[in-house]
Amino acid sequence: MTDEDISWLDLVTVASLIRKRELTSVQVTEAQLRRISRLDPSLHAYARTTPELALAQAHAADARQAQGETLGPLHGVPIAVKDLCWTAGINTAAGMPIYQDFIPSTDATVVRLLREAGAVLLGKLQMTESAFSGHHPDIVVPVNPWDSLGWTGVSSSGSGVATAAGLCFGSLGTDTGGSIRFPSAACGVTGLKPTWGRVSRHGVFELAASLDHIGPMCRTAADCGVMLGVLAGADPFDSTALQSPVPDYLAGNMGSLAGVRIGLDATYVATDVEPEVTAAVNQARAVFESLGAQIVSVNMPDADDLVESWVPHCAIEAAVAHTATFPARRAEYGPMLAGLLDLGLRLTATDYQRILLKRATHTGQLNALMLQVDLLLMPAMPFASPATERIANLRLEPGYRKRLSRFTAPTDMSGHPTLTFPAGSSTKGRPAAAQLVAAHLNEGLLVRAGRAFQGATDWHLRRPPSLDIFNSPERKLGSD
């Protein structure tokens, strides 16, 4: 196999080939490192690579394999993690120059679990400053492989780019207001935001403790299921990690969704949403129906006030997370994050309590709705992979945050799990995505539905155009 052939394999397939000794971990890792060396100078997905560590882990994986020993489902598979996950002996900066020299002495729980499952660490992926909505001015922003002018989403931008460009077989992202779902949608990959607490947050830089979710970003729903099976579970270092047993997320009938009730609010998915995105959601609906699912008309609870409350909620919790360095070192912060923390310090306990009451009300309403259906189908964001310039202009418009986050912030507030997956294309050839929402701890049904959809469609198999043409004067996409 060529490097190109290897790099576009899905995680489940490459793990199987390594397990059957049809490929070695060293072969796969070397192919990935060569691809990263060739493409990442243009894409900037990685904050730092760890080639020496990756090769040492790959050799160790092959030696164990030769002795008939397999560590776990990721044995020998190269992955990468967002740069807010602590990695022992490796710089972890969380997109913040203020932490560029921070070297943790221990791994985050999620990193430890990946290593124990046999994964090979290719490096740390670039991100926005402290996982909020903007990259620090000193950081080179990752480039969308579908279009050099396209938005990469926030804050797991490097995770979306690396996964979409074949620079890793799976990655870790985090989602506080949409940061697994936005880059997954914008870059055309599959992202699973688990139930809040399903995955330990120990050793992961906080943005907002009660909103932060950690989950996999991969090229298929099955890959996400394999990674989540490794990551999920109780953790003595994180008392908020749920004690519930971790199921086999790939169990169940992949091809049929008979008996599954999928709720759809036709008005909700079309109001203030680009037609290309609504079309992708409706096309997904038709596929799910063909697979045996029952589509149920529902009315989504009104979450406008809740979405407006997301920024002050996040601001208050972020201000707590940054107490050690803000405002004492304010000059070293970028303007977006500094503005958020300033807001958090101005708000009162009364403000916070009002937000918590809204949050509890909405969570109860969504829980009640999930008694009527098994899944909800909706967009992940109202745009089909927009141009970066368009997002910058939208930031200046009243109601920007509410429009962008209306399909993401509510389920971060409620803690419900979601699956984002490519389901269509814009007229400019960029990905368009759909999103499924499930009841708490029902990630297995999300994976099952995603696998069924991807078994019947090929949106997840589509690849970005050659990066070589990004430097061509003819490449002028992105002017929405």
The DSSP secondary-structure symbol of 425 reads: E
**For 414-438, what is the mean pLDDT?**
95
479 band by pLDDT with thresholds 50, 70 and 90:
very low
- What is the SS3 assignment for 331? helix
The burial of 28, by beta-carbon neighbours within 10 Å (0-12 exposed, 13-18 middle, 19 or more buried), is given as: buried
pLDDT band at 402; cut points 50, 70, 90: confident
Beta partners for residue 215, in sequence order = 173
The secondary structure element, H or E, covering residue 202 is none
Q: What is the pLDDT of residue 467?
A: 64
Res. 475: pLDDT tops 50: no
Query: Where does the pLDDT of residue 472 fall: very low under 50, low under 70, confident under 90, or very high at 90 and above?
Result: very low
Tens of pLDDT, residue by residue over 142-179, are 999 999 989 999 899 999 999 999 999 999 999 999 99
DSSP 292: T
Told to judge if 124 belongs to the known catalytic residues of this protein, a careful annotator would answer no
DSSP notation for 22-54: SS-HHHHHHHHHHHHHHHHHHH--EEEE-HHHH
pLDDT value at residue 480: 44
- Count CB-CB contacts under 10 A for residue 53: 16
Q: Which of 25, 155, 159, 385 is catalytic?
A: 155
Give pLDDT, residue 429.
87
Contact 58, 26 (CB under 8 A): yes
State the pLDDT at residue 392. 81
Task: Tell me the CA distances in angstroms from 128 to 43, 255, 295, 405, 479, one per residue in order.
Answer: 15, 38, 37, 17, 23
| Dihedral, CA of residue 213, residue 218, residue 222 and residue 225, to nearest 10 | -20
pLDDT band at 478 (very low <50, low <70, confident <90, very high): very low
**Can you name the residues that pair with 204 across neighbouring β-strands?**
85
Q: What is the pLDDT of residues 221-264, one digit of tens each?
A: 999 999 999 999 999 999 999 999 999 999 877 789 999 999 99
In this prediction, residue 468 carries a pLDDT of 59
Share of the chain above pLDDT 70, in %: 97
Write out pLDDT tens, residues 45-93: 999 999 999 999 999 999 999 999 999 999 999 999 999 999 999 999 9
Query: Which residue segments constitute the domains of the chain, with CATH numbers given?
Result: 3-459 (3.90.1300.10)
Closest CA to 229 of 12, 454, 58: 12
Which one of the listed residues 7, 148, 156, 179 is annotated catalytic? 179
Q: Is 82 a catalytic residue?
A: yes
Q: 466 pLDDT band (50/70/90 cuts)?
A: low
Which residue among 7, 25, 82, 385 is the active-site one? 82
- 0.85 exceeded by pTM: yes
Say whether 171 is catalytic.
no
pLDDT band per the 50, 70, 90 thresholds, residue 390: confident
Rounded to 5 degrees, what are φ and ψ at 362?
-65, -40
Cα–Cα distance between 466 and 363 in angstroms, integer?
Answer: 44
What are the residues whose beta carbons fall under 8 Å from the beta carbon of 1, sequence distance 6 or more? 23, 31
CA-nearest of 415, 403, 396 to 379 is 403
